[in-house]
């Protein structure tokens, strides 16, 4: 017995929309997280990169959810 749905696409049950939650902002570093040693890639740099990505993701999300 074949359990596959053979109904035409217009008669099949609609698929629920995929979840698309609003992006969450990154957690900023604590005041003491930076050691002020001139690291090549400081926690502040990592946070700034994450913040830039968050802003881009948020803008794209807002365009999908006017």
Number of Cβ atoms within 10 Å of the Cβ of 37:
6
CA gap 63, 1 in Å, rounded: 46
Q: Which of 21, 27, 16, 19 is nearest to 62 (CA)?
A: 21
CA gap 35, 26 in Å, rounded: 20
**What pLDDT digit, counting tens, does each position of 23-62 carry?**
999 999 999 999 999 999 999 999 999 999 999 999 999 9
Number of Cβ atoms within 10 Å of the Cβ of 51:
13
**What pLDDT digit, counting tens, does each position of 13-25 carry?**
777 778 999 999 9
This prediction's pTM: 0.70
């Amino acid at each position: 017995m074949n359990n596959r749905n053979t109904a035409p696409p217009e008669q099949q049950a609609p698929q629920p929309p995929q979840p698309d939650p609003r992006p969450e902002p990154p957690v900023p570093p604590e005041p003491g997280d930076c050691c002020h040693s001139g690291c090549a890639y400081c926690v502040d740099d990592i946070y700034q990169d994450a913040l830039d990505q968050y802003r881009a993701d948020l803008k794209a999300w807002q365009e999908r959810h006017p």
